Amino acid sequence: MPDHVLIAGGGIAGLALALTCHQIGTRFKVFESVPEPKPLGVGINLQPSAVRELYDLGLAERLEGLGVRTRDYGMYTKKGLHIWTEPRGTWAGYKWPQYSVHRGQLFMMLYEELVRRAGKDCVETGWTATGFENEGNEAVLHLRSRTGEARTVRGAILVGADGIHSAIRAQMEPKEGPPKWNGAVLWRGATRAEPFKTGASMVMVGHSKCRFVSYPISKPDPATGLALINWIANLQYDPAQGWRKEDWNREANLEDFLPKFLGFRFDWLDAPALARGAEKVFEYPMVDRDPIERWTWGRVTLMGDAAHAAYPVGSNGAGQAIVDSRVLGRCFVEHGLAPAALEAYEAEMRPATTKVVLTNRVAGPDSILDVVEERCGGEFNDIEDVIPKAELAEHAAKYKAIAGYGIQATNEKPRTIPEGARVKA
């Protein structure tokens, strides 16, 4: 009988699960559709709840080498007026930092570390998952190579970690169709520039119809003082007009969005200069998927974006994928490589992530920007006249609790996987 975990998709979720399987002494194999791992993407954030999991995987030093410990998170009107700033990571009282990192560098770090620990053969690239079956005590994964060759592999468990266009999920939910677009488009880039504010600040400027988000994702170069600054320009359109298929690597032109942000120039941030300085600009529609009733079919389950793709507004998509991998690992330790492990994992993670998907649609942490815009058009003498500080603090704390990274809850939670825990043979 097969005794290993098949992982369809070697993105952030799949690699974190593979590293977890290696840590708990379980055999596994990752099947990734791209022919060669490449450092794709721009900035992402890892909340302390995910950083602690990477620390528990022995990756603290490597993470520190890549990212920036995010110090605070601030909201500003389109006129650059200050609404609210809250400390982040250890500055907020967490035991672990929040990191802002380049997604491609995080991905390559996880990949290299996995290959170093478990050997190159544990990841097979160039194989696309096309479907699955449960057969007796086996999970069966169907694959296709880039040249059209079909192949079937068998394992004790199959995990669909194949992202927002998951083929595994599509088989479970044949009527679902493409992700849902809410009319917003995100233009993303990373530019070498001087860091602003504290040098490790994340800022959100404007409101949901016209918003600019920025934060550094590298430490400054000691010679030039320049850091890699991530930025996202966000505009709203009529969702009825439709959008091209979501592709994280679609390149775009500055003229598509820059004219709307020409006024976003303040003494601490020059949004047009940042956008013009990027080597490449990518566009991505704001899409998510409706939560589904079931992730687990016998010996097959979903994780990461395949399970719960949400709007990228709460800085927790990649972190949530990492947390999924750790909870699933703990369930393997507790229940073995059996359907009971997948059911226990789903019982814990599906309700929690469903709340995040739904909250991100209406009340992500930045929804305060819209409240301020509606109430005063972005201009005020004293923010207290527009929205009391206590209301701002309450909104921020509520979101963290829903997204599973409340300060006290994170600090008090025991390790997800106890040190030295192993899956019983």
Ligand X SMILES: Cc1cc2nc3c(=O)[nH]c(=O)nc-3n(C[C@H](O)[C@H](O)[C@H](O)COP(=O)(O)OP(=O)(O)OC[C@H]3O[C@@H](n4cnc5c(N)ncnc54)[C@H](O)[C@@H]3O)c2cc1C
Residues that bind ligand X (CB under 6 A): 8-14, 31-34, 40-42, 44, 103, 128-129, 161-163, 165, 167, 188, 248-249, 304-306, 312, 317-318, 321
CB of 382 to ligand X, least distance (A): 35
- How many other CB atoms are there within 10 angstroms of residue 330's CB atom? 21
d(CA 84, CA 392): 7
d(CA 134, CA 245): 31
Give whichever of 13 and 200 is closer to ligand X, judged by the CB atom: 13
Name the residue with the smallest CB distance to ligand X: 11
Give whichever of 352 and 407 is closer to ligand X, judged by the CB atom: 352
CB of 111 to ligand X, least distance (A): 10
CB of 409 to ligand X, least distance (A): 22
CB of 137 to ligand X, least distance (A): 23
- How many other CB atoms are there within 10 angstroms of residue 276's CB atom? 13
CB of 155 to ligand X, least distance (A): 14
Radius of gyration of the chain, Cα coordinates, nearest whole angstrom = 21
Give the DSSP letter of residue 65.
H
CB of 176 to ligand X, least distance (A): 15
d(CA 192, CA 220): 9
Give the DSSP letter of residue 255.
G
* Structure token pair of residue 231: 């930025």
- Burial readout 387-417 (b: 16 or more C-beta within 10 A, e: otherwise): beeeebeebbeebbebbbbbeeebeeeeebb
Q: Cα angle vertex 76, ends 247, 393, to 5°?
A: 100
Give whichever of 248 and 380 is closer to ligand X, judged by the CB atom: 248
Strand partners, 377: none
CB of 399 to ligand X, least distance (A): 17
Give whichever of 274 and 372 is closer to ligand X, judged by the CB atom: 274
Query: In terms of residues, how long is the chain?
Result: 425
CB of 353 to ligand X, least distance (A): 11
The CA dihedral of 373, 374, 376, 380, to the nearest 10 degrees, is -30
- How many other CB atoms are there within 10 angstroms of residue 278's CB atom? 20
Give whichever of 34 and 258 is closer to ligand X, judged by the CB atom: 34
d(CA 310, CA 353): 9
- DSSP character string of 297-354: BTTEEE-THHHH---TTSS-HHHHHHHHHHHHHHHHHHH-SSHHHHHHHHHHHHHHHH
CB of 351 to ligand X, least distance (A): 19
Give whichever of 82 and 151 is closer to ligand X, judged by the CB atom: 151
CB of 349 to ligand X, least distance (A): 13
Give whichever of 143 and 193 is closer to ligand X, judged by the CB atom: 143
| Cβ-proximal residues to 295 (8 Å cutoff; 6+ apart), any chain | 172, 301, 302, 303, 307, 342, 346, 350
CB of 161 to ligand X, least distance (A): 5
Could you give the 3-state DSSP secondary structure of residue 384?
helix
